[in-house]
């Protein structure tokens, strides 16, 4: 199942997920890895849907080879940037492929007032009124890694986000993409000063959302609308 979803699922979460699905369920021996052969396509689809719409901090095992590769590249690029600045980029290899969760997207090519104006008329799904030449999305993403303590979803332990910037617009993402959307990151790409540099060839959008994150996203849009579109306060 790890190869199908490009992520190592938490066995605790997967067991809970399977137990919540309608009976009959496939037989799951007590001490056996969860393999695709244990689940028919209907169950795989149901699990996939749950993965897309649950917080990745709850669904995955954060200690994986790919997580380590990405975190090490981030750490090394920050160290190199502090030491020399020039030549501080670290390349994540072409064999890298991992599902992550987009927690937040901001179009940094606009100031706050323009973002609020667009947010006031935002649409859901993958409609892309914000897809235009010169756009630059900044993304805060989660790979499920929690620095200390058990995974705790949105309100759990301290989570260091994976920060990324578009080097060219990614067609299936926009500032309107729902928070909690799952994407697959694919190498090769560079990480400079702790920021992953991503283009269309590095991101495959899967979809989904997380209710708690969407609620925070909508609150932020409404706060921006009141401050700027409502006429109170100036642009920053």
**Domain ranges across the chain:** 2-52, 65-229
The secondary structure element, H or E, covering residue 93 is: none
| Distance in angstroms (rounded) separating the CA atoms of residues 94 and 127 | 29
Query: CB neighbours of 19 closer than 8 A, spacing ≥ 6?
Result: 25
3-class secondary-structure state, position 45: helix
The predicted model scores a pTM of 0.79
pLDDT of residue 65: 83
pLDDT of residue 27: 47
pLDDT of residue 191: 96
3-class secondary-structure state, position 77: helix
pLDDT of residue 166: 95
**What is the block-wise mean pLDDT of the chain (236 residues), using blocks of 10 residues?**
76 88 55 51 85 93 82 90 73 94 90 58 44 81 71 50 93 91 97 95 96 93 75 44
pLDDT of residue 146: 67
Query: What architecture is domain 65-229?
Result: Beta Barrel (2.40)
pLDDT of residue 223: 82
pLDDT of residue 61: 79
């Amino acid at each position: 199942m790890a190869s199908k979803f490009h992520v190592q699922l938490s066995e605790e979460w997967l067991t809970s997920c399977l137990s919540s699905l309608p009976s009959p369920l496939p037989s799951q021996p007590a001490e056996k890895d969860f393999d695709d052969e244990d689940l028919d396509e209907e169950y795989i689809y149901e699990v996939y849907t749950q993965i897309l719409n649950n917080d990745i901090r709850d669904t995955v095992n954060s200690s994986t080879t790919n997580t380590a590769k990405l975190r090490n590249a981030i750490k090394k690029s920050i160290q190199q940037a502090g030491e020399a600045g020039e030549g501080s980029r670290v390349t994540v290899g072409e064999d890298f492929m991992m599902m992550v969760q987009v927690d937040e997207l901001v179009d940094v090519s606009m100031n706050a007032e323009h973002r609020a104006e667009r947010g006031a008329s935002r649409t859901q799904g993958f409609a892309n009124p914000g897809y235009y030449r010169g756009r630059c999305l900044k993304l805060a993403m989660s790979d499920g890694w929690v620095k200390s303590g058990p995974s705790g979803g949105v309100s759990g332990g301290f989570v260091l986000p994976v920060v990324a910037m578009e080097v060219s617009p990614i067609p299936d993402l926009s500032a309107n993409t729902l928070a909690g959307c799952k994407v697959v990151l694919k190498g090769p790409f560079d990480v400079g000063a702790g920021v992953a540099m991503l283009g269309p060839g590095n991101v495959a959008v899967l979809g989904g959302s997380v209710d708690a994150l969407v609620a925070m996203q909508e609150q932020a849009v409404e706060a921006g609308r009141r401050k700027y579109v409502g006429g109170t306060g100036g642009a920053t």
